[in-house]
Amino acid sequence: MNPDLDALKPYPFEKLAALKAGVTPPEGLAHIPLTIGEPQHAPFAAALETLQAHQQAFARYPATAGIPELRQAITAWATRRFGLEGLDAERQVLPVNGTREAIFAFIQAALDRTRPARVAVPNPFYQIYEGATLLAGGQPLYLDCRAENDFRPDLDAVPADTWREVQILFLCSPGNPTGAVTPRAEFEKLIALADEHDFIIASDECYSELYLDETAPPPGLLEACAAIGRHDYRRCLVFHSLSKRSNLPGLRSGFVAGDAALIAPFKRYRTYHGCAMSLPLQHASITAWNDEAHVRANRDAYREKFAAVTEILAPVLEFAEPEASFYLWPAVPGGDDEAFTRALFAAEHVSVLPGSYMGREAVDGINPGRGRVRLALVAELEPTVEAAQRIRRFVERSS
């Protein structure tokens, strides 16, 4: 077997299961998980109807590039959403089976292990960035995201010599687990850094459509490119998904868009990889990308939940209300995120994810996720509010 497999760390949910092993929660309380970022709102019904209407197309092999109608729907959506000019549906857009698969595959395709192969990732982070880097023979460079920097990487803290070893920089905006949003000016600063040191910017924007202020949608990397007249999107790629936007995580549908000079070899890699999206899923995706009404309704539901949960938890937990995503990232009393998680499960049958499981010890030997927990507010309103009430009760009893 590939010896690089031995470098992979245990996945956070594997560690969480071990942490809770042997704990017996109260029998009278139903389990409420706030751990996995899997939307529990109803999936977009029209997309499912389209899927059924095209089920006979399962009899045909799909092409890696996807059907032109899907690429055009994606291009039209991205152009509207981010104010783009001339995004080329043929050369600059590639449908993929969700962002997780595409992020992993892109790192395998892009990393050149014949020279220093560092991949800069936010810390804490989505584990696929790290795992894909290690399996591609690269070395992660962890960029701490701390409260004093609004939970965004401190780009100025990275020396020029280190930037020169970076081949890919991953962003996640809005962030997982922090909900932090990268401002457009910071995207522009990154573009200048990429030009100076010759690396790729890969922006994971799968939470971009879940924002609390309807008048302030999060900016994106391609939007920043367009603002400075960089319509070839050189060195820039974005990853988008229907999982969160349309509550369709099982559809495994998303896209990659940006620099045609990166898309073309990635498409060639994927042709050999054999990961084309099936035709019925492509048709369902067209229906989803073409509709905004269900996305606005989805945001309304999250706003209602955030308002209720923050009102309940703000008196007992310290956290910054995020601009976007469906996560809360509170500090825990006493600072021991594992002990808090285990005790909360034992007392209230509520599962949360220790923040230290999403981070790594980096520059100063401190894991920036330690002392916090991630709450995924993905369930419907009633169980989410009940979970918040149980957490508050637990904290008040423990203080």
* pLDDT tens readout for residues 242-257: 999 999 999 999 999 9
- Other C-beta atoms closer than 10 Å to the C-beta of 370 total 18
State yes or no: pLDDT of 331 exceeds 90. yes
In this structure, the strands spanning 353-354 and 373-376 are antiparallel
Q: Are 257 and 86 in contact (CB under 8 A)?
A: no
- Give the pLDDT confidence of 19-29 residue by residue, as tens digits: 999 999 999 99
Instruction: Tell me the torsion sign for CA atoms 389, 390, 393, 399.
Output: negative
Amino acid at site 355: G
> What pLDDT is attached to residue 69?
98
- Give the pLDDT confidence of 206-226 residue by residue, as tens digits: 999 999 999 999 999 999 999
The mean predicted confidence, pLDDT, of the chain is 97
d(CA 104, CA 55): 28
Interval 317-333 mean pLDDT: 96
> What pLDDT is attached to residue 58?
95
State yes or no: pLDDT of 236 exceeds 90. yes
State yes or no: pLDDT of 363 exceeds 80. no
Provide the pLDDT confidence category of residue 192 given band limits of 50, 70 and 90.
Answer: very high
> What pLDDT is attached to residue 74?
98
d(CA 103, CA 111): 12
Interval 263-275 mean pLDDT: 96
Provide the pLDDT confidence category of residue 365 given band limits of 50, 70 and 90.
Answer: confident
The alpha carbon of residue 119 and the mean position of all alpha carbons in its chain are separated, in whole angstroms, by 17
State yes or no: pLDDT of 379 exceeds 90. yes
**Helix, strand or coil, per DSSP, at residue 135:** helix
**Helix, strand or coil, per DSSP, at residue 150:** coil
d(CA 377, CA 324): 12
Q: What percent of the chain has pLDDT over 70?
A: 100
Amino acid at site 93: V
- Locate 212 and state its tokens: 């609390």
Please give the sequence-ordered ranges of beta strands (E in DSSP) within the chain, or none if there are none: 32-33, 93-96, 118-123, 139-144, 166-172, 200-204, 236-241, 254-258, 327-328, 350-351, 353-354, 373-376
pTM greater than 0.95 (yes/no): yes
- Give the pLDDT confidence of 88-133 residue by residue, as tens digits: 999 999 999 999 999 999 999 999 999 999 999 999 999 999 999 9
Provide the pLDDT confidence category of residue 364 given band limits of 50, 70 and 90.
Answer: confident
Q: Are 176 and 239 in contact (CB under 8 A)?
A: no
- Give the pLDDT confidence of 45-78 residue by residue, as tens digits: 999 999 999 999 999 999 999 999 999 999 999 9
Interval 4-15 mean pLDDT: 94
- Other C-beta atoms closer than 10 Å to the C-beta of 11 total 13
d(CA 366, CA 57): 52
